[in-house]
Structures are given as C-alpha cells and as structure tokens.
C-alpha cells in the first residue's frame, strides 16, 4: 500500500511496486488524479494489480473510513509506504483542530499505521514474509523548532513558522518510525520500520514555497533529483532483500545515514507516541 501515490515520487513508487508484482493500493485524497495514476501504471504494465481508495490524511475520520474499506477487501498487507505530505503551507487547522502540517504529515500517518498494524502482523505471521513500513521523512527534520517537537504549542498561530513546522513534522516521522520499530522488536513481530529522505525533488509539494525558496532551488539545481531518482531510496528500503531485519534506521541515497540528535532521542520518541495517541483520542471524543 502506498499513501500519496497519485503524483510525484508516490506515483513512481507505486509503479515500481506494481512492476515487482505487488498488488498496489493507491491511497489518495484526489480520486480523479489517483485513477489517472492507475491508468498510467496500467498503460506500461497491463498485468499490474492496482486499486484506488480515498484517503485524506488531514482527517482522522477519513483515515478510519479508509482503513475500514481496506480491511473489508480481505487483502494481505506486506508493505506500507507513508508517503503523503504537504510543505510550507500557511497556518491552518485540520478538521480535527490540529496544525495542518503536523496533522497531515505525522498524525495522519501515525493513526493510519496503527489502524492497519493488526492486518500487517497477521500477514507477516501467516505468510512468513517480513512486513515493511517506510516513513518518508526529510533532511528538513534538522530544521525544526528549538525544542524539537512543540508539544505545548502545536496549534500556536502567533509563533508559527511554516518551514520549522514542516521540519517538526518530518522529525515526527522519524521518531514515529523509531518508536514503532522498538515496540515491534519487543513483541518479536516480523515487521521492520524505517525512514527515508528522498532527496531534493521538484514536485508539487513546493506550491506553497516563497520567493526565497524558489531562488534557492534555482541556485542549487545541480543537487536536485528527478522523480525516479527520488523514489529510489523508498523502493530500496521497501523491497531490497539485503535490508531483511534492518529496522529503526534512516536512509539517504540508498545508504544508512545518521539522523539528527532529536531524531535519535528515545525519550522524545516515546513522548511523541503518547502525545499522538492523546490527540487521536481527544479528536475521536470531539
């Protein structure tokens, strides 16, 4: 399953997974774009197995509906790619009253993963095949707020910084992967959880970027990757047999890489896990 697969590196990841004979579920907010992506994959691979399900990661209700729809299909779940995201958007609250970048990039994936985890465990146990969860993080996790995660000020509009809020959400992706990896290892479950930085890629994520960022993109154009190059690390971590059993790690350019100090904090990861559970619970009660 690949979330956010209607365009960009998500679409390329879905295409590669389909080429490897995986039954791909494209989870996307824009169903029309997702169906176009499906047709693009089928055009090059007539034997591909691709289905589309609606998913808005900024809405916990939509995530629950998606999970219910997927489980009702009675399909196995070996690979989960948490790929969707938004970047540098103006301050906005989600339908559940949570700052939009944190809600979409982290909390949505956190909730989705938890809802699908039982299915992944069952699949790994019944098939004997290692399950793999891949979180798309970013080197931007290094550029976050001073305290790393602003637990007490997640929704503080007055001090909101669009770039640091994005970095915070990408740090949260790493911390989520690390804590989930630790928990699954404690359980002895045959599922790995890793994070990747896809690189600097020219996708529609930059629709909110300002003039400074656009100028920086021009000045550093030699460092930017095309979409297949950007999807390479995700596909490598999701599929390559050499990574069997490797978990709780961060990959860049298909190599393990040392994440920032906040990302390596077990205490911060555990606190984020509890904080995220409380947000989901509070939103459900509301």
Residue 69 exposed, middle or buried by CB count within 10 Å (0-12, 13-18, 19+)? middle
Instruction: Exactly one of 145, 160, 236, 250 is catalytic; name it.
Output: 160
Decide if 53 contacts 30 (C-beta within 8 A).
Answer: no
Measure the CA dihedral 198/118/262/88, to 10°.
Answer: 50
For 4, which DSSP code? Answer: T
Residue 170 exposed, middle or buried by CB count within 10 Å (0-12, 13-18, 19+)? buried
Residue tagged 């103006």 (tokens)? 90
Residue tagged 């956190």 (tokens)? 110
**Could you give the CA distance from residue 93 to residue 184 in angstroms, rounded to a whole number?**
32
271-276 long-range contacts (CB < 8 A, ≥24 apart) are 271/149, 271/151, 272/149, 272/172, 272/175, 272/176, 272/179, 273/175, 273/176, 273/179, 275/149, 275/151, 276/106, 276/107, 276/110, 276/111, 276/172, 276/176
What residue ranges in 34-149 does DSSP mark as E strands?
A: 49-54, 79-82, 131-136
Task: Report how far Cα 130 is from the mean position of its chain's Cα atoms.
Answer: 19
Positive or negative, the CA dihedral 5, 9, 11, 12 is negative
Of 192, 152, 186, 150, the closest CA to residue 171 belongs to 150
Residue 209 exposed, middle or buried by CB count within 10 Å (0-12, 13-18, 19+)? middle
Could you confirm whether 160 is annotated as catalytic? yes
Hey, which residues are catalytic here?
160
């Amino acid at each position: 399953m690949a979330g956010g697969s209607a365009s960009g590196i998500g679409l390329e990841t879905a295409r590669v997974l389909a080429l490897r004979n995986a039954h791909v579920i494209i989870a996307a907010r824009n169903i029309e774009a997702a169906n176009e992506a499906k047709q693009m994959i089928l055009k090059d691979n007539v034997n591909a197995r691709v289905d589309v399900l609606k998913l808005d990661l900024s809405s916990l209700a939509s995530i629950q509906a998606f999970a219910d729809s997927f489980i009702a299909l009675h399909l196995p779940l070996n690979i989960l790619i948490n790929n969707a995201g938004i970047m540098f958007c103006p301050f906005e609250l989600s339908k559940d009253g949570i700052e939009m970048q944190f809600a979409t990039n982290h909390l949505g994936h956190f909730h989705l993963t938890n809802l699908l985890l039982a299915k992944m465990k069952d699949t790994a146990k019944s098939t004997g095949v290692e399950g793999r969860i891949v979180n798309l993080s970013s080197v931007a996790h290094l550029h976050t707020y001073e305290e790393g995660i602003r637990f007490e000020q997640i929704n503080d509009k007055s001090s909101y910084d669009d770039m640091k809020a994005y970095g915070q959400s990408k740090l949260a992706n790493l911390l989520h992967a690390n804590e989930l990896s630790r928990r699954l290892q404690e359980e002895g479950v045959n599922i790995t959880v890793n994070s990747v930085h896809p690189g600097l890629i020219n996708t529609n994520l930059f629709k909110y970027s300002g003039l400074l960022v656009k100028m920086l993109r021009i000045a550093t154009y030699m460092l930017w990757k095309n979409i297949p190059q950007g999807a390479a690390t995700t596909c490598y971590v999701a599929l390559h047999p050499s990574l069997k059993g490797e978990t709780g790690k961060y990959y860049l350019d298909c190599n393990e890489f040392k994440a920032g100090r906040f990302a390596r904090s077990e205490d911060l990861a555990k606190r984020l896990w509890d904080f995220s559970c409380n947000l989901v619970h509070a939103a459900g009660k509301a």
